[in-house]
Amino acid sequence: MTSSVLFQGREEDNVLKLLEDLLNAETSKDCANIGEKIGEIFKQDEPLITLKTTGFLDGLEKAARNKKSGFHRESAMIGFASVIPKIGRPCEVDFLPYLPVMLDLFSDRGEVVRAAAKMATDSLLNILPSVSVETRLIPSLIEYLNSSAVKWPSKVAALELLGSLAKTFRNAIAVAMGSLIPCIRERMHDTKGEVSRAAIKCMLDLCTVVENNDIIPHIPKLVDCMAHPETLEECIKDLSATTFVATVESVALAVLVPILKRALAERSQIMLRMTVIITDNLCKLVPDPAEASDFLPELIPEVERIAQGAAMPEVRALASHALTTLNKAAAAQAAKAANDAERQAVSGVRSRIHQFVTEHAKCPQNFNMGEVLDYVCDAYVAFYNNKQFQKESWVNEMGIPYLSPFVGESAAAESVTKAYDDLHSFYQSLNGPDISTLNIEEEELVNTDFSLAYGGRLLLNHTNLRLYRGHRYGVVGHNGCGKSTLLKAIADYKVENFPAPEQVKTCFVAHSLQGEDTSICILDFVANDPALANMNVTREEAAAALKSVGFTEDMQKDAVASLSGGWKMKLELARAMLQKADILLLDEPTNHLDVTNIAWLEAYLTAQTQITCLMVSHDSSFLDHVCTDIIHYEGVKNAPKKLGYFPGNLSSFVEKKPEAKSYYTLSATNEKFVFPPPGILAGVRSNTRIILKMTNASYSYPGSSKKSLDDVTCGLSLSSRVAILGPNGAGKSTLIKVLIGEVIPQEGRVFKHPNLRVGYVAQHAFHHLDQHLEKTPSQYIQWRYSGGQDREVLEKETRKLTDEDRAQLQREITVDGERRRVEALIGRQKYKKSFQYEIKWLGKPHKYNSWIPRDLLLENGFQKFVQAFDDRESSREGLGFRELIPEDIRKHFEEIGLPGDIADYSPLSSLSGGQKVKVVIAACLWNNPQLLVLDEPTNFLDRDALGGLATAIRDWGGGVVMISHNAEFVSALCPEQWHVVAGKLTNKGKSAVDNEKFEDLSEKDLKKIESKTTKKKKLTRNEMKNKERRARDRELAWLSSPKGTPKPKTFFSDDEE
């Protein structure tokens, strides 16, 4: 039934009469009661039409703008506040145009008028659907705030209203953030303090809709930067230190892009560098070019300008890279083509709705339906843009109620259903239908899309993590690609949409104990673990778990600090077993484990059918024996990756990916290390001369009755290639420490050539870096060698002065019949087969300096002072050809396989395990040592880096001694092997190295190596005469032999040929 028939004459006059009564009512209550009566009258017929045709709303507006009567202004607002809730939807379309009238009265002098205006706006807000907030309310408020005619109290009211929407209409605010932020930012700089403060509060409220966990902590500073531009540099510094991981949606872009755009206009090259890096990282996390195309094109001209004209070449290069990423993310042409097609489709639906309703409408001829039809069509456009295709919303909520007053319910349903079907089909034609790829045969633990970044670099970009129960996944990729970071993110539940701990429990097993110095006993260490205490694990269960991995009852009473690296790793595994996790995360589990323990670990893992394992390991044999699947970091090196899944072990993976053969061979084709040549060792003309040795040395750790070394004698030369082998805890690392002077043996002595420089990489390699995590690798080398010598050497026990050593300086020596005390050693020169040192005597001028032989100083107890002087001299010689400048340091790191940008700009705390090992190796080689000591160097290095290291060691001219459980690595490099068992050393002698382990050696190269080993020594003149004499004797012996004796082809022996 239509209003043209029913709502005429008497009813219309009644409404106008009630309107007059409402405006002249004596009390607010009377006014509200009359308003409710009017609402009841409108509800009897089609209020969507009659509200307009009666002129009721225009009458309220006229009263609200009556400047002479505050009474009428209050009554008008009360009228809106009482009629709106009574009629409700779908009449919000009629009430919304009167919102500015309501807001204007927030500037009224009368308090009751302002209160009534607040009631009216609240009533209107309560009946609005979310889509109307997006399509009508927010644009109306933005237009209102941008008007210069609006008074400041009304602006404050509008800002407060916008801020309140963030709580109840989050999605609508999120969609409109791109339009809201410029408007609110302008109000932040309003000359009226009240408006400025309200705008800042409003912006903080609006930013609560940002769901990006990387940006949320920075929201206060970002808003402060919008209000106070002078804080821009501090804001950009904070952003540059942020690891952006989460997907960057349009809401986050709306907040960040204005600030980035302003930062890109700065002149500071440091600021520009930080900003283009942030821009680059953010763009890689934008999943939808359609969203990016609304914001990122603003940045393109600025970044393009920097790429072409920045003062620093590095900034230009970074800007060029960011520009490529920007263009790719924005995908301007593709987005424009898609948008054009979508606009045409939506426009077609809009036209059909307008045409259908206009042709079938049954309403007054002078009634304008366009406003209602635009309202409905705008809602459908919003639904489409927001990918909301719930048919109930399209048809029953935003369709039939608004169109049925004009064409009837059935025709309205037909029209809007057709509109829904057309747009939904078109959307599917562009994006495809939803496809489910779930594996229904196995239990799926995790299935989530995510991105991963660390240390300012994007590692994984919009990839999928899918894990099934009982599968064992080997995570494969080059050093620094983010394998360990992925495991840590999973362990900390920082992967987007990862199941909660209550659903899927994870346990991370890594070398977290390495380098810790704790006196707590092993059993207490496990039993008191907080994670296990929460699970009510008993002490007996802890003891049983420790026993299952090899800890006897006596061992469980020992301190954790007394354990070797391999036993500490087994301790971690025992703790992991007790946590009964669904997902076990293993980071380099075979590091420090001997062959027997690796076999035990393989058997344990393969027996677990209900535990899912993710493991990072560079032990190809281990991955072959254990893995059911391989997860590979797919993509170009130094660029964001995707996760690729390959069923089977590492061997089957290599069959599918032949380029991954480097996981089996020590090839240097992908990564090449170049070690600096060893310095010349004065006085040493033969590479076989012993330059470092210890004799009858014994050592036991403080608090331990067991000897870690027992009467050990050994020596090294420049030609040494020694592998130290033995089970976990046998004393291998202790042997190294005693040999190079890290610790002092309780028995025996150690000899070291005075000029020998030793490069040492400890088992816990990171202990070199732990005190410098805030420094970059380049800064670390500058610190370490800034004083002209290696500061790490000064930390050795053999260099630290004890009270006894200081007392030694007070000891007097008789020289030329006079008792004197040593003040310092200030010079050294060659003396026979040793050295003599220039001594500055305490209290004597330099003309009384004396030259004292080295042996005499050692006999008098000045070993540490002599050694310290020798260290300074050898460091001076080693660093004589080095300039401690960033350019040379960068080149040095690049020769050891660490990218120059990481060396110059990435703090040590952000580097992966493999990268830290490279830093330590590079640092120990900076002063050109003659001897390289490596305690388990293969830990944390991937196959490419391992191949590069092996090739560099093979081609290096100095001596090498190493500890490693990697048989492949040892057999390829070390012909000499020392076996250590229970503190005793056995030299197994020399054997041929396995050159076939090196993929870069051709058959021709191998023949050259073979020919070198069989090359004969040139004989002297006397040796030639003796050889000929022996040949004549053999010929005479044949001539005197019985007839018929066969004549030899030659009378020279095999050795003489």
DSSP 950-968: HHHHHH--SEEEEE-S-HH
- Is residue 21 a contact partner of residue 63, using CB atoms and an 8 Å limit? no
Reading the block at residue 681, the tokens are 């060792």
Residue 837, phi then psi, degrees to nearest 5: -120, 140
Identify the pLDDT of residue 199: 92
**Is the pLDDT score of 333 beyond 50?**
no
Considering only 123-137, 294-308, 577-591, 761-775, which range has the smallest mean pLDDT?
Answer: 761-775
Q: Which of 976, 1001, 1026 is the last residue of a domain?
A: 1001
469 class by beta-carbon count within 10 Å (0-12 exposed, 13-18 middle, 19+ buried)? middle
Identify the pLDDT of residue 440: 40
**Is the pLDDT score of 436 beyond 50?**
no
Separation CA 983–CA 704 (nearest Å)? 13
| Pairwise pLDDT comparison (817 vs 907), residue with the higher score | 907
Chain position carrying tokens 């100083």: 857
Residue 268 lies in a domain: no
Q: Which of 103, 127, 151 is the last residue of a domain?
A: 127
Residue 62 lies in a domain: yes
Identify the pLDDT of residue 291: 65
Considering only 198-207, 332-341, 361-370, 580-589, which range has the smallest mean pLDDT?
Answer: 332-341
Are 736 and 829 found together in one domain?
Answer: no
Considering only 331-345, 579-593, 607-621, 990-1004, which range has the smallest mean pLDDT?
Answer: 990-1004
Are 989 and 1023 found together in one domain?
Answer: no
Greatest mean pLDDT range, 348-357, 560-569, 601-610: 601-610
Identify the pLDDT of residue 402: 74
Identify the pLDDT of residue 202: 92
Identify the pLDDT of residue 473: 93
Beta-carbon contacts of residue 680 (< 8 Å; ≥ 6 apart)? none
Are 135 and 123 found together in one domain?
Answer: no
- Share above pLDDT 90 across residues of the chain, in percent, rounded to a whole number: 3
Identify the pLDDT of residue 159: 92
Q: Which is nearest to 71 in space by CA: 39, 120, 17, 108? A: 108
Identify the pLDDT of residue 200: 92
Residue 469 lies in a domain: no
Residue 438 lies in a domain: no
- Which CATH number do you get for residue 78? 1.25.40.90
Are 739 and 755 found together in one domain?
Answer: yes
**Is the pLDDT score of 362 beyond 70?**
no
Q: Which is nearest to 214 in space by CA: 267, 166, 271, 253? A: 253
For residue range 388-427, list pLDDT tens digits in order: 777 777 777 777 777 777 777 777 777 778 777 777 777 6
Which H or E element spans position 266?
none
Q: How many Cβ atoms are within 10 Å of 638's Cβ, its own excluded?
A: 12
Task: Give DSSP secondary structure letters for 276-301.
Answer: HHHHHHHHHT---HHHHTTTGGGTHH
Q: Which is nearest to 1047 in space by CA: 1037, 1055, 949, 1057? A: 1037
Residue 65 lies in a domain: yes
How confident is the prediction for the chain on average, in pLDDT? 78
Question: What domain range includes position 1051?
Answer: 1016-1057
Beta-carbon contacts of residue 523 (< 8 Å; ≥ 6 apart)? 539, 542, 543, 546, 556, 557
Considering only 202-216, 435-449, 848-862, which range has the smallest mean pLDDT?
Answer: 435-449
**Is the pLDDT score of 912 beyond 50?**
yes
Separation CA 419–CA 416 (nearest Å)? 5
Separation CA 657–CA 646 (nearest Å)? 10
Tell me the β-bridge partners of 749.
695
What ranges make up the beta strands (E) of 705-746?
A: 709-717, 721-725
Chain position carrying tokens 């920075």: 218
Identify the pLDDT of residue 942: 66
Number of domains the chain is built from: 6
Q: Which of 403, 431, 459 is the last residue of a domain?
A: 431
Residue 439 lies in a domain: no
Are 89 and 37 found together in one domain?
Answer: yes
For residue range 54-100, list pLDDT tens digits in order: 778 888 888 888 888 888 888 888 888 888 888 877 888 888 888 89
Considering only 25-29, 204-208, 306-310, 1051-1055, which range has the smallest mean pLDDT?
Answer: 1051-1055
**Is the pLDDT score of 1012 beyond 50?**
no
Identify the pLDDT of residue 331: 56
- Which CATH number do you get for residue 869? 2.40.50.40
Q: Which is nearest to 609 in space by CA: 635, 588, 582, 570? A: 582
Are 916 and 847 found together in one domain?
Answer: no
Identify the pLDDT of residue 198: 92
Separation CA 713–CA 698 (nearest Å)? 10
| Pairwise pLDDT comparison (133 vs 992), residue with the higher score | 133
Separation CA 18–CA 33 (nearest Å)? 10
- How far, in Å, are 404, 431, 554, 1013, 1037 from residue 202 at the CA level? 39, 36, 66, 82, 116
Are 17 and 105 found together in one domain?
Answer: yes
Residue 252 lies in a domain: no
Span 254-265, average pLDDT: 88
Span 823-834, average pLDDT: 78
Separation CA 940–CA 148 (nearest Å)? 64
Tell me the β-bridge partners of 716.
692
Separation CA 804–CA 933 (nearest Å)? 30
**Is the pLDDT score of 10 beyond 80?**
no
Band of pLDDT at residue 639, cut at 50, 70 and 90: very low
Span 451-465, average pLDDT: 73
Are 1025 and 923 found together in one domain?
Answer: no
- Is residue 906 a contact partner of residue 776, using CB atoms and an 8 Å limit? yes
Are 954 and 927 found together in one domain?
Answer: yes
Bond from prior residue into 301 cis (ω within 30 degrees of 0): no
| Pairwise pLDDT comparison (2 vs 604), residue with the higher score | 604
Identify the pLDDT of residue 926: 87
**Is the pLDDT score of 276 beyond 50?**
yes
Separation CA 730–CA 592 (nearest Å)? 12
Are 744 and 865 found together in one domain?
Answer: no
Identify the pLDDT of residue 6: 42
Are 367 and 384 found together in one domain?
Answer: yes
**Is the pLDDT score of 668 beyond 50?**
no
Reading the block at residue 30, the tokens are 């009377």
Residue 137 lies in a domain: yes
Span 512-535, average pLDDT: 68
Separation CA 106–CA 110 (nearest Å)? 9
Are 184 and 144 found together in one domain?
Answer: yes
Span 443-471, average pLDDT: 80
Separation CA 122–CA 117 (nearest Å)? 9
Chain position carrying tokens 């170009």: 636
Quick one: CA dihedral 545, 548, 550, 552, positive or negative?
A: positive
| Pairwise pLDDT comparison (515 vs 705), residue with the higher score | 705
Task: Give DSSP secondary structure letters for 330-366.
Answer: H-HHHHHHHHHHHHHHHHHHHHHHHHHHHHH--S-TT
